[in-house]
Structure 1
């Protein structure tokens, strides 16, 4: 083992993630651990909103009094009927942010079982759908509307019977929802008023794009649409445009565009402030020994270990059991009952180990996880964020994350940093703007002999904004270069330097910026 416990820069992680609401008991525990953590709560109470008495009573019983930032910014817009694209950190409270307005809409409009489904929430995994359904059950405690769940691993016939009777709010996974839309007769969804797509990036990552496009074609287009995504990539942005398409109407031009709400866009770190990240560099033959030693020392803690394949989960679960380290395990081929049993057992345990694949990486709310260990590096940079989001959740949450890397895999840390910014539409635009302003600010120095923008290493500056090479931007250079510099410019015109191509054909090899 060459080096162990190297702490990673928080920004190397990337953009953070989703949430499923925490129980009041977890909130109390988290509050005790909040040493120096940045608060996600606002000073606004749910009672400040024009909510119905049944909803306010349910929120109070569930222990929710004060809104988080995503809730305070999103709920008023959704109550007005606006379409919203949302992005927020893990544990930020977005499940309540979309459920509360949906339930309020059904409360104030005629909504009986015979009216069919008014609201559909689509979740990428069974576990996330079940947890969203659980939160909705609490909010429905004093309402008369009906609630349903449609996920794989459950007999479809029973679900169909419930849908025919009338389900006002349905939480479903994409595949099972599409099955019901195609096959379940007398499933009334023509009155749909609100579609909620939770974790759109994860939906695309699990190859649900075709199913989602088919679902969107079948559902009424005249509706309110809410889309939440942990990462705002170009692919997600294109999917959002498809999701928010409206039926052609006379006043189509006057229809307001979806509102984008990203509560973390201006924060310096992509991961939550209470998360400490570490890297363990180890050779292949010593990798399991390092894991065994770590787990043995952390037996009193609650630890999740991620593997890349279900076969690895099965093998290491059996192997650790033989050497007296008992583990829970979850992977995609398990029966739903077995997955639920293992998940419930780990949640209830004060300490323990859960081995899993990425099936558990998104949306599952497990209280008080101390460590997230990545035995195998994630296939995609975004998945790193999804994995570490299982710890340091909620208000003031704290936790630690450890990733095992081979010596030849160390470049993954740099890749992780660059890839997230490059593929994140909103963050990439922000980085370009910041890069441009940095160059222009440098050029504004009065002491040109010391601060010459023409001598500035643009490639190095670009890397500080997470670009592998300088992005193409139009930079305004007001200062006039020296006569010798002008002569060099004229000589180098053959290299293609112009106002539209300030880097020239040779890029940063000879001349980085052109005066124009």
Structure 2
């Protein structure tokens, strides 16, 4: 940015727009604008935009109910699928860590008749804009997104924020949950999905004055579609390719987390992780993991040989568990405060 600014003519009019007023934004203001620039807020009481203290207020507002659920890697997709099926009448935003993961889950869920929309950074701006307004007008539905949708978007009447992939830091968590319970009398719910190894993130949230309740889930009522999911991914060429990219994107995003003591990529059980992407064994991809066990490497090599045989383009039609009746089931047992 400094190099770009130096190339601009000295006589110019510069406007800078931001949903928040963070330290990085202030640094950009000093670099790109003149001394004492005019600041204009969308609303009078927000003329200074969102400071650190006001950002924390987003996560402590009265109408926002927040909680987390502990879920092992191999059951993550089953949990998400069950939750979305149960809450078809709600308006939900689901956050992922990579664009590839958003694309794969959109393709998969739409294929198995669970309609969803998506917004991520690799879409063209026109596509993101159309999807944004489509979701704004909808009374119910699900939007899969990356953190490109965590800031600056005012979407009305969002019932649930689901953080399928954990945020990098408490500030990012707060920005995500800020998409619901908007307005003075707004209400909403937030669900954070954590692996048992990631529970340490709750300490960082507590330090940021964000307290979450633990949600109890009836695991015996989890939609048992894993065998059909693996068969579908193995037989559908396009979903198989998309799943590999999502699997690779998830691990690379995990490796880029700043809180290494919580999100340690070397502690990921790849055999369990691959299950949530519909693989029976981990596909062979170039991953930034230094100390994978010999067993995992052997399985990955075996999978590479299997994957050289191009999967059939024929789509799996026998997704039987998706057809079973699940209306009226109560999969989530909330504490007294929580209401779904």
TM-score normalised by the shorter chain: which range applies?
Answer: 0.5 to 0.7
**2:83 matches 1:294:** yes
* Compared CA separation, residues 306 and 270, structure 1 to 2 (3 A): closer
Task: Work out which of the residue numbers 386, 389, 410 in structure 1 matches 2:175.
Answer: 386
* Compared CA separation, residues 380 and 406, structure 1 to 2 (3 A): same
Shift of 1:186: 6.2
1:200-230 deviation digits (Å, cap 9, x = unpaired): 22x73xxx676444214xx2x2555564334
1:365-409 deviation digits (Å, cap 9, x = unpaired): 001000000001100111111111111110211111111111121
CA distance in 1, matches of 2:88, 2:72: 24
1:271-329 deviation digits (Å, cap 9, x = unpaired): 21001112111111111000000001111110000011111111111111111111110
CA-based RMSD of the aligned residues comes to 3.1
1:200 match: secondary structure: coil
TM-score by length of 2: 0.53
* Compared CA separation, residues 184 and 341, structure 1 to 2 (3 A): farther
1:18-71 deviation digits (Å, cap 9, x = unpaired): xxxxxxxxxxxxxxxxxxxxxxxxxxxxxxxxxxxxxxxxxxxxxxxxxxxxxx
**2:28 matches 1:200:** no
CA distance in 2, matches of 1:196, 1:345: 24
8 Å CA contact 1:197–1:227 kept in 2: the answer is no
Shift of 1:344: 1.0
CA distance in 2, matches of 1:319, 1:296: 14
**2:138 matches 1:313:** no
Shift of 1:416: 1.4
Shift of 1:270: 4.7
8 Å CA contact 1:180–1:187 kept in 2: the answer is no
* Compared CA separation, residues 196 and 311, structure 1 to 2 (3 A): closer
CA distance in 2, matches of 1:353, 1:178: 41
* Compared CA separation, residues 353 and 281, structure 1 to 2 (3 A): same
Aligned to 2:197: 408
* Compared CA separation, residues 223 and 286, structure 1 to 2 (3 A): closer
Task: Work out which of the residue numbers 113, 126, 134 in structure 2 matches 1:324.
Answer: 113
2:52 match: secondary structure: coil
8 Å CA contact 2:19–2:151 kept in 1: the answer is no
Shift of 1:333: 1.3
**2:160 matches 1:371:** yes
8 Å CA contact 2:59–2:177 kept in 1: the answer is no
What does 1:115-126 align with in structure 2 at a 5 Å threshold? none
Q: Which runs of 5+ in 2 are unaligned?
A: 40-46, 210-340
1:149-190 deviation digits (Å, cap 9, x = unpaired): xxxxxxxxxxxxxxxxxxxxxxxxxx6x9968844686346x
1:287 match: secondary structure: helix
Report which of the two structures shows the higher radius of gyration computed on alpha carbons: 1
* Compared CA separation, residues 298 and 181, structure 1 to 2 (3 A): farther
CA distance in 2, matches of 1:183, 1:300: 51
CA distance in 1, matches of 2:180, 2:92: 9
Aligned to 1:187: 12
CA distance in 2, matches of 1:288, 1:229: 34
2:155 match: secondary structure: coil
1:347 match: secondary structure: helix
Aligned to 1:214: 31
1:228 match: secondary structure: coil
**2:215 matches 1:398:** no
User: Once structures 1 and 2 are overlaid, which stretch shifts more, 286-295 or 342-351?
Assistant: 342-351
CA distance in 2, matches of 1:355, 1:178: 35
8 Å CA contact 2:92–2:160 kept in 1: the answer is yes
- The structure showing larger relative contact order (alpha-carbon pairs under 8 Å, at least 6 residues apart) is 2
Q: Which runs of 5+ in 1 are unaligned?
A: 1-174, 233-261, 422-516
8 Å CA contact 2:59–2:178 kept in 1: the answer is no
**2:58 matches 1:228:** no
**2:150 matches 1:361:** yes
TM-score by length of 1: 0.36
CA distance in 1, matches of 2:112, 2:152: 31
CA distance in 1, matches of 2:137, 2:67: 27
Task: Work out which of the residue numbers 136, 158, 169 in structure 2 matches 1:347.
Answer: 136
Aligned to 2:278: none
Aligned to 2:332: none
8 Å CA contact 1:181–1:187 kept in 2: the answer is no
CA distance in 1, matches of 2:74, 2:187: 32
1:273 match: secondary structure: coil
Provide the aligned length of Structure 1 versus Structure 2: 203
